Amino acid sequence: MGRVDQILTAIKKLSGEHFETFAVGLIMRELYPGINPTSASHDGGEDAITHPSVTFLNNGKFISVASSKTGTLAKIRQDCEACKNNKRNRDVLVFATTKDVRSDTIENWKVEIKNEFGWDLEVYTIRWFQVIVSKPVHESYIDSFLDVPPPDGDFTSTINDEFLKVSKADLGNVRVKIPGLKDPIQRVEVDLIEDQLRLGNSVIITGDPGTGKSGLGVMLARNGTEQNKIVLFLDARRFASFRSENDISSHFHLRGTFSNAVKRAGTHKGCRVIIDQFDSVIGLEISDILAEIACAIATFQGVEIIIITRKKEGHEQDSLNYLNGRGFIEKESYPLNQYQVLEALKLLNITSAGEMAKISANLLNLEIIGQIKQENPTFDFSNLLNEVDLWLKYIETVRARETRVINTSSADALIKEAIRLAKVGLKELDRDFSLEFLSREQKRLESWGIIFKVEGYQYRFRHEKLQDFLYAKDAVSRGWLKDNVLNEIPKYRTINIFRWMQSLYDREKSQKRIQFMKDILNV
């Protein structure tokens, strides 16, 4: 079916009420800007009339509009009788119909109405509406009323379905609730970001690892859905191997481009696009393409853009400066405040003294604390001194549970497999690794929530921080230095690994720590 036929079919399928709104709106835009729609309960046979103060907009004439999905002289006479009885002034009766009426028939109708009622009659049929609504200036009408895609474009229903499918998958991979707590912790940043979006600004959410940046994205996605917008929440790592917008469009199974799909969604009912994990693709070819697309679609009517990334450092600076320079407003994701920490620990029934409260200000740390508490309700947290201690305790908790449920060798195999997968994922652009048939250890890692299925056979660590920590712990156990790591892992992935290695070497007071720091500092 060609585009003309699609438009004709869509107009025919409009309900009487929707056709009335559609017709009056187009006639007002195209012919008579001085008309005003009437209310359904007081139309008096007219769907739009002209008030005396604005007749100058209609060349000094009183214009009345009647619309119907019926296209007969009998229907026009019926509307004329109703108009005659309401005592309003009119010079012209405009009749809009979804029917296709012959020109000579319309000319005969004009003569009869003029003779019987004294008014000029203008009739606009479905063919007229099809031609007029196809003008670029009326594109929003095609979106709002007819849902007909542009040439080489997509239906808004298709766009919505594709965006929903990706959003559902990627939202499901983000945890916003702390294990052991009934509700998510409320974040003041959400209201601050919503304020910027209401002002028409695009937003970059930055923050340290573990401050809950992705969780903010989830909350903002839910807000967008509640505001009846089309929402797209996507993990940028999906696109790590992509090289063009065409690759992105194909990923969504779109006939048109991804940018045009967002534009149509914005015009249709508003669209909120949230790009998570942007820092994970910075340095790859796709990062510049995503930044350019984000800047372009941010200018579209009804479109809101939120990009989530960690704080700017090193190679990330240029990409984020590009966004800042094009009007993106930076809002930070903060650690929890002292009140929030104390309340959360109280609900978890954990004593919140000293270092414990400091560690728990990081949401990822608090999640791990909650998980340890769930697995071992009698665990003594008072001996935790720092973040390294926490993550080592987490690994110990996993090991102890596996030993208790199965046996020691199974627990050792589980940790060994986690370290192996951490290494495999770190070598890949998107950190994904392929697992077609899961081994017993891999199934247990998935059960713990340490790894999760992205789609198909592709899996990923739920927390990059844990992945980096596992690799760093293994590297320190081997006594590795900077060059050993660089021989295995891409350089842009090593910054957090080196930080963990430094902390682990310091903790163990290893003789390797001095040489390690010299290598890092190039001394």
pLDDT at 1: 66
Tokens representing residue 127 in the block: 């063919």
77: exposed, middle or buried (Cβ count in 10 Å: 0-12, 13-18, 19+)? middle
Which of 16-25, 130-139, 246-255 is the least confident region?
130-139
pLDDT at 210: 81
pLDDT digits (tens, 9 = 90+) for 452-505: 998 899 999 988 889 999 999 999 999 999 999 999 999 989 999 999 999 999
- CATH hierarchy code of domain 156-332: 3.40.50.300
pLDDT digits (tens, 9 = 90+) for 169-213: 999 888 899 999 999 999 999 999 999 999 999 999 999 878 899
Q: Are 379 and 397 in contact (CB under 8 A)?
A: yes
Residue 219 neighbours by CB under 8 Å, 6+ apart = 176, 184, 187, 190
pLDDT at 64 over 60: yes
pLDDT at 313: 55
pLDDT at 375: 81
pLDDT at 315: 52
Distance CA(120)–CA(106), nearest Å, equals 12
pLDDT at 316: 57
Rounded mean pLDDT of 402-418?
Answer: 85
pLDDT at 115: 96
Rounded mean pLDDT of 127-133?
Answer: 95
pLDDT at 523: 45
Rounded mean pLDDT of 337-356?
Answer: 85
Which three-class secondary structure string do you get for 4-38?
A: HHHHHHHHHHCCHHHHHHHHHHHHHHHCCCCEEEC
3-state DSSP percent of the chain in helix, strand and coil, to 5 = 55, 10, 30
pLDDT at 409 over 80: yes
Tokens representing residue 328 in the block: 């993106």
Show me where the domains of the chain are located. Answer: 3-138, 156-332, 385-521
> Of residues 447 and 470, which shows the higher confidence score?
470
> Of residues 240 and 298, which shows the higher confidence score?
298
Q: Are 240 and 429 in contact (CB under 8 A)?
A: yes
pLDDT at 157 over 90: no
pLDDT digits (tens, 9 = 90+) for 271-317: 999 999 898 888 788 999 999 999 999 999 999 999 999 875 555 56
pLDDT at 41: 66
The pLDDT confidence band at residue 405, using thresholds 50, 70 and 90, is low
pLDDT at 33 over 90: yes
Three-state secondary-structure class, residue 455: strand
Q: Are 276 and 234 in contact (CB under 8 A)?
A: yes
pLDDT at 410 over 70: yes
> Of residues 436 and 351, which shows the higher confidence score?
436
- Give the position of tokens 């940018």: 259
pLDDT at 149 over 60: yes
pLDDT at 209: 79
Which of 91-100, 119-128, 134-143 is the least confident region?
134-143
pLDDT at 361 over 70: yes
Distance CA(154)–CA(143), nearest Å, equals 11
Rounded mean pLDDT of 113-136?
Answer: 94
pLDDT at 178: 92
Tokens representing residue 367 in the block: 């999640």
- CATH hierarchy code of domain 3-138: 3.40.1350.10
Give the closest residue to 306 by CA, choosing from 270, 273, 334. 273
Q: What is the mean pLDDT of the chain?
A: 90
> Of residues 317 and 382, which shows the higher confidence score?
382
> Of residues 424 and 58, which shows the higher confidence score?
424
pLDDT at 354 over 80: no
Three-state secondary-structure class, residue 207: coil
Cut 0.85: pTM above it? no
